[in-house]
Structure 1
């Protein structure tokens, strides 16, 4: 890609995105520019990533083709007010902030601006992200492809309707926390059975990783895959019955629902 890409803000997610682009050879280092609030932060970013840096948000707005807003959601309004008049024509503004709506972007950008709402999740840090994209206005097909390529560089991506974004947040944006809790609980149980703790963490994490890979790579329903592990009168069915008694699936579904409700309440 010969586009110049700018990041306003460079936290963990921005770094994950940059590492994905560089690791997949999608963009050259000299075509990525990052801004931050302090020279110390920029020095660290330059040393770590080798990309261009600046203290001036307006400089990024004037120079790039794709502008990624990687600041905290509460800062969006101030940042957009600062750079609004400096964003050159045809720039695609990409939001990665939770709760930032297309309507909010439209109201805070110049008429005719191009913008996209996205939500990546934290496994992007290890190249296994799951991102959702909701398209704004005035976008050309190639421009959409360019943004998709960025998100594909650190995982998988789907284009969805904005009304589905709260559900996506609940099952993908926040779900790494649920999975980490599952891994931790499995490992604790392993320790109880005498397995050394770090070994138990490794075993539990690999079991989750392998199970997820089976869902993604084999054309079988998760329920069938579960059935295949449950031998009649065996150990696994005993564990499944115990989980059902504890409301395992119901508690997950309720957690997802509560997360989606909270996501809806945070919209700008």
Structure 2
């Protein structure tokens, strides 16, 4: 029975553990170098991608991107004029700008070019229509922790992608964190609801926990520090521990104690479980509405 999801992969898992340089592309064009595009770029450089292989197309580069390009020898241009078809074309512009940008970019996607898109809502069929010569197209949904190399990305590929191109896509996405390959592209909307939007849920939890602390009598600044350190510390413990989240919760919950009293509220009919289920469903529906 298939779940539609493949196990977490790093690029070394895809082609019998090749050295990184085998999977990383010989040439790459990054279109859009905002927060997420810049995060991917940082990950590629950390992974060992030769800066001289990279061209950035960004009409309004930030000072950080300008400095990185100048220091690392990365080509930076405002328009794709004069650029040949690369081995990998990474689309990281705002989704609403694709209509305007696609005609000029279409010639960059040759028959052997991997097109990797992180544009929310743009389906594989939509991208195939804009880049008709490209056979290998990947639609990916990273999340904000990619900016520190701790993200997780859900990705789906066109049927024509080969093993080497999938290895390249995995290598590029792994620079931002873990990668989950999806057999069913429709699951990306659910990925968006859980991990794509998920960091905002965690930040909101910190806000709400701090506000609850103030309501309980704590000074606001102290409540903020306690809430923030509690969530980041618990996350670090979850990351390092072999135990599941449920097992860790049980380990910290004494029968009849303070934590048990709080969890009786959080686990109730109107508690955090049903609320998160509704929240993820709402995000998933909105992602589906934005698809095209």
Give the TM-score of the pair, scaled to structure 2.
Answer: 0.82
Q: Report the RMSD for the aligned CA atoms in angstroms.
A: 2.2
1:57 is paired with a residue whose SS is coil
Deviation of 1:136 after TM superposition, in Å, equals 1.2
Whether the 8 Å contact between 1:112 and 1:138 is mirrored in structure 2 is no
Tell me which moved more, 51-60 or 12-21: 51-60
- Contact 2:86-2:108 within 8 A present in 1 as well: no
Per the alignment, do residues 225 and 86 of structure 1 end up closer, same or farther by CA in structure 2, a change over 3 Å counting? closer
- Structure 1 counterpart of 2:67: 47
In the alignment, what sits opposite 1:256? 280
Name 1:152's counterpart in structure 2: 174
1:20 pairs with 35, 43, 46, which one? Answer: 43
Over residues 222-253 of structure 1, what are the superposed CA-to-partner deviations in whole Å (9 max), with x where a residue is unaligned?
32321221101211011112223452211111
Name the count of aligned residue pairs: 263
Q: 1:14 to 1:59 in 2, by over 3 A?
A: farther
1:157-203 Cα offsets, whole Å, 9 max, x none, are 11012011111000000111111000112223344543562x54444
Unpaired runs of 5+ residues, structure 2, are 1-20
Q: Which has the higher helix share?
A: 1
- Report the counterpart of residue 127 of structure 1 in structure 2: 149
- Offset at 1:148? 0.6
Structure 2 counterparts to residues 1-268 of structure 1, below 5 A: 1=21, 3-24=26-47, 26-38=48-60, 41=61, 45-49=65-69, 50=71, 51-60=74-83, 62-111=84-133, 113-160=135-182, 161-192=184-215, 193-194=217-218, 197=221, 200-245=223-268, 246-268=270-292
Greater CA deviation, 242-251 or 252-261?
A: 242-251
- CA apart distance, 1:216: 4.4
CA shift in 2, pair 1:28/1:111, >3 Å: closer
Listed as ranges, the gaps of 5+ residues in structure 1 are: none
- Report the TM-score, using the length of structure 1 for normalisation: 0.89
Distance across 2 between alignment mates of 1:117 and 1:93: 8
- Aligned-partner SS, 1:170: helix
Structure 1 pair 213–149 and aligned structure 2 pair: CA distance change class (3 A):
same
